Structure 1
Amino acid sequence: MTAHSSSTEPAPSPSARRANRGRDPYDGIEPSLGELAALDPADPHHAGLRDEIIGRCLPLADHIARRYAGRGIDFDDLQQTARMGVVHAVDRFDPAAGTKFVSFAVPTVMGEVRRYFRDQSWAIRVPRRLKELRGRITVITPLLMQELGRTLTARDLAIALDTEVEEITQALIASKGYTSDSLDATPGTDNDSGDHTLTYADRLGSIDPCYILLEDAAAVRPLLAQLPRGDRRILILRYYDNRTQQEIAATIGCSQMQVSRALARILTTLREQALDEPATGQAA
Structure 2
Amino acid sequence: MSGELDGTLLKVFVAIIECHGFSAAAERLHKTQSTISQSLQRLEEIVGTPLVQRSSRSVSLTPGGETFLIYARQILKLHADAINAVQLPDEQVCIHVGMPEDYAQFCLSGVLRDFQAQFPQVRPDICCEMSTALVSRLQRGELDLVLGVQHANLQPGEFLCDEPLVWVAAEGWRADKDPSVPLAVYAEGCAFRANAVRALAEAGRPWHVVYTSQSPRGIGIAIEQGQSVGVTARRLVPPGWQVLDEAQGFPPIDPARLMVWRSAQSQALAVEALVEILCRALGRSELLAQRGLAGLTAGHQPQQ
Q: Same fold (TM over 0.5)?
A: no
Question: TM-score band, normalised by the shorter chain?
Answer: under 0.3
Structure number with the higher strand fraction is 2
TM-score normalised by length of structure 2:
0.17
Structure number with the higher helix fraction is 1
TM-score normalised by length of structure 1:
0.18
Q: Which has the higher contact order (CA 8 A, sep 6+)?
A: 2
